[in-house]
């Protein structure tokens, strides 16, 4: 049975669930993956995002999300000015991505420490999103669950060590995916979980041999199911 939220759609700042609420969640997810205050945002827009981003407020929604604003946050309307006030340098440009969803954005963020990340994702309707790439890795993230992201050398035993740590903390895995560049090279493991991930979990995972980086992303919620 559907709830009221499913019928009326996501709580958001308009005018469009796909072009504003979904865009805000894309920016919010990119900011969570960066994990620090952004100082530069380079945003490439594909399809209808590129054609209507000013009129539908997609530019404000993406920047607002990057700044940490939720889709219902009134500050989204002033996100361009707030970004300028906070010293966030940003740019928007069109891009053609073959076979990509029409509401796709590539977000490249530089943090205050100099860390750079690139995230590709789409607003797929009703305020829902799907992250499809982080850096060079294919992923599948919706933001509806907390996620543990592990970058590691593709070696036997790493996956087992990570899942054993989660089991020790009684954290249930909802979804799991491993992507690698080449056999034996760098790989990325993404585990979406039913529970938020503590600092202790991430620290224990970080001590695993051949593990290059471990970090957690909190759930950011989702839109309607219609």
Over residues 183-200, the pLDDT tens digits come to: 889 999 999 999 999 999
Nearest-angstrom CA–CA distance, 220 and 5: 16
Instruction: Decide if 217 contacts 145 (C-beta within 8 A).
Output: no
Over residues 10-69, the pLDDT tens digits come to: 444 444 556 689 999 999 999 999 999 999 999 999 999 999 888 778 999 999 999 999
Which residue from 1, 28, 203 is spatially nearest to 128, judged by alpha carbons?
28
- Delineate the domains of the chain, giving CATH numbers in brackets: 4-135 (3.30.1330.90), 147-217 (3.30.70.260)
- Structure tokens belonging to residue 207: 């001590």
What lies within 8 Å, CB to CB, of 112 at 6+ separation is 36, 37, 38, 39
Nearest-angstrom CA–CA distance, 4 and 27: 26
Sheet containing strand 103-111, strands side by side: 89-94, 38-47, 103-111, 116-125, 128-134, 137-141
Peptide linkage before 39 cis (omega within 30 of 0): no
Mean of the per-residue pLDDT values of the chain? 89
| Mean pLDDT of the region 156-176 | 96
Alpha helices in the chain (DSSP H): 4-8, 22-34, 48-52, 58-66, 79-85, 158-168, 199-206
**Angle CA(83)–CA(89)–CA(91) in degrees, nearest 5?**
100
Residue 1: pLDDT band with limits 50, 70, 90 = very low
């Amino acid at each position: 049975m559907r709830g009221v939220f499913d019928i009326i759609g996501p709580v958001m700042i308009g005018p469009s669930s796909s072009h504003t609420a979904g865009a805000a969640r894309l920016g919010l997810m990119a900011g969570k993956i960066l994990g620090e205050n952004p100082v530069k945002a380079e945003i490439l827009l594909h399809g209808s995002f590129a054609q209507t981003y000013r009129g539908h407020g997609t530019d404000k929604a993406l920047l607002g999300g990057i700044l940490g604003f939720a889709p219902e946050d009134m500050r989204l309307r002033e996100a361009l000015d707030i970004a300028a006030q906070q010293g966030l340098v940003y740019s928007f440009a069109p891009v053609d991505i073959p076979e990509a969803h029409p509401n796709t954005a590539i977000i490249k963020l530089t943090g205050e420490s100099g860390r750079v990340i690139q995230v590709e994702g789409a607003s797929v309707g009703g305020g829902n999103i799907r992250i499809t790439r982080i850096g060079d890795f294919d992923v599948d993230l919706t933001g509806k669950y907390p996620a543990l992201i592990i970058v590691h050398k593709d070696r036997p035993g790493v996956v087992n060590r990570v899942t054993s740590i989660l089991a020790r903390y009684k954290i249930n895995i909802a979804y799991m995916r491993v992507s690698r560049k080449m056999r034996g090279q760098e790989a990325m493991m993404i585990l979406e979980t039913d529970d938020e991930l503590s600092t202790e979990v991430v620290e224990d995972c970080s001590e695993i041999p051949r593990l290059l980086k471990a970090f957690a992303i909190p759930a950011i919620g989702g839109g309607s199911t219609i």
